[in-house]
């Protein structure tokens, strides 16, 4: 439902001096098939569930060191919704991390230094919702990125919440409870494989039943312990667990060493005529202790 006075529902977030919104938007605009947000006119529109209600937000950077958040539509529930929205946005753009040590480290390395200069200000754009992060990683296994986006769109359009505003439909990734009762055949009709369907449903049921949560994983006290719990889920292997550690749990040392895109980026930047070997990747990332996740993210960025 549209709001009557959007000007009264605008708030600002202070961002660190080494944050730049433009390269983050460029990264998020890498696919025309993105179903969960819309990058346009120097900002991004995204539907969030705030205090249990779908609310459409627009985020722009109209002033230096400030993000402006405008509520466009939905059932806004005041201060509680604002706090929840701010928490999500800060997590989404990793705004509470000091990147000065990363840039200092990167500038001492030929490969990463060039990327750090080219994409200066880019943050590791995350996936704060654990269910979305796990499903995105699962559907993306062993398929190209374009088809992974198509599978995510189909899941979102079939099972997620939506809100229409100014002739456009904005969508939210399904909540675990919205998928927990689905039949494997229904997911198969969306072109998820039998194994991926089983994995998505297993995650949905664990999360809707309270056996799995982001808060619970973080409360384990170590990212390795969180990974051990993730690996107990069918269809979740080392690549998926590392990806979730990196994009959702915000482990700065995580990187999916088996990722094809990472291999392609390293091969491109090092001028190799073959895929890099595991020892070569381990030696390369040994130069960036504590910043492996950001190094991997910047290497990925070189491919778009």
Cα distance between residue 201 and residue 18, in whole Å: 40
Cα distance between residue 103 and residue 99, in whole Å: 6
Which tokens is 20 given?
A: 């730049």
Nearest to 42 by CA among 6, 18, 68, 16: 68
Nearest to 3 by CA among 66, 60, 50, 67: 50
Number of neighbours of residue 117 by Cβ within 10 angstroms: 11
273 is catalytic: no
Out of 94, 129, 202, 259, pick the active-site residue.
259
Q: Can you say whether residue 290 is alpha, beta or left, with left for phi > 0 and alpha for psi between -120 and 50 degrees?
A: left
Cα distance between residue 159 and residue 174, in whole Å: 5
Catalytically annotated residues: 259
């Amino acid at each position: 439902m549209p709001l009557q006075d959007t000007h009264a529902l605008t708030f600002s977030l202070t961002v660190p001096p080494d944050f730049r919104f433009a390269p983050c938007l460029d990264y998020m605009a890498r696919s025309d098939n993105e179903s969960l947000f819309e990058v346009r006119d120097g900002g991004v529109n995204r539907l969030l569930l705030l205090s249990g209600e779908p609310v459409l937000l627009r985020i722009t950077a109209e002033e230096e060191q400030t993000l402006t958040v405008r509520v466009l539509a939905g059932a806004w529930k005041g201060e509680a919704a604002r706090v929840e929205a701010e928490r999500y946005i800060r997590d989404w753009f990793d705004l509470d991390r000091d990147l000065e040590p990363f840039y200092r480290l990167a500038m001492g390395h030929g490969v990463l230094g060039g990327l750090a200069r080219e994409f200066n200000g880019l943050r590791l754009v995350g996936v704060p919702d654990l269910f979305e992060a796990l499903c995105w990683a699962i559907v993306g296994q062993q398929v190209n990125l374009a088809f992974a986006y198509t599978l995510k769109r189909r899941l979102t359009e079939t099972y997620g919440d939506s809100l229409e505003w100014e002739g456009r439909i904005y969508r939210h990734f399904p909540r675990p409870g919205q998928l927990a009762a689905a039949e494997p055949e229904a997911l198969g009709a969306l072109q998820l494989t039998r194994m991926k369907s089983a994995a998505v449903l297993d995650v949905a049921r664990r999360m809707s039943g309270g056996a799995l949560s982001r808060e619970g994983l973080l409360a384990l006290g170590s990212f390795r312990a969180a990974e051990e719990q993730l690996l107990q889920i069918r269809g979740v292997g080392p690549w998926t667990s590392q990806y979730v550690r990196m994009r959702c749990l915000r482990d700065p040392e995580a990187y999916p060493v088996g990722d094809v895109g990472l291999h392609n980026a390293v091969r491109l930047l090092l001028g190799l005529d073959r895929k890099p070997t595991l020892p070569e990747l381990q030696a390369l990332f040994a130069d960036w202790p504590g910043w492996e996740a950001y190094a991997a993210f910047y290497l990925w960025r070189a491919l778009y």
